[in-house]
Amino acid sequence: MECTLIIIDVIVKFRFIINKMQFQDSVCRCNWIKDDSDYLKYHDEEWGVPQYDDQKLFELLVLESAEAGLNWLMILKKRENYRLAYDNFDPNKVAEFNEEKALGLLNNKGIIRSKLKIKSSIQNAQKFLETQKQYASFSNYIWQYVDHKPILNNWLRSEDVPNETSLSLAICKNMKERGFTFIGSRIIYAFMQAIGMVNDHPAYCFKYHKNQNGVNA
């Protein structure tokens, strides 16, 4: 047992030293991000931080779906364009988007111009409101899966973090039954990470379990 702890300590310290060299400010972060201002701000201030505001939850659901097959930095660079195009991600407004509005989105060079993703985002806004009505808030619905407390994982390396889990599969299945579309299990797990349902910052990252009262995995 003592030998195992020593090995773990060595691995964490090694990652800490290597990771500090990756960023200009010498702060240790998850090694999946790039030394880009938008990426750093997102990682440092949002990713893994519990989010309970319904409008923000809808925003991240739309953005995570838009990212499918692409990369997150591309989405972050287009985030302000999305906010303008999607009425600041007000689900009440998005749910009422008609064919003319959808066509306008399809021709909007500032966002991902995927007909399937755009159609899905409008339908998901409608299902979001239905779920919201049933549970008083979408936050109540989604956070019930973790008893309203984030799961604090204990990864030594970013490479160890899974793309999906049995929980993301269960949530995905239920959301599809509710009529949500374009939400595979991996998209849902990325959504869970984004809203802080799970904290997957590895032990060497300065955001590891920071300022959270959750349940250790």
Residues with catalytic function: 42, 64, 72
- d(CA 26, CA 11) in angstroms, rounded, equals 18
- With vertex at residue 184, the alpha carbon angle to CA 44 and CA 94, rounded to the nearest 5 degrees, is 75
- d(CA 172, CA 61) in angstroms, rounded, equals 12
215-216 β-sheet, strand order: 198-199, 151-152, 215-216
CB 157 within 8 A of CB 28: no
CB 163 within 8 A of CB 192: no
Q: Kindly give the residue spans of alpha helices, DSSP state H, lying in the chain.
A: 2-20, 37-45, 54-67, 72-77, 79-85, 91-94, 99-106, 115-135, 138-143, 166-177, 185-194
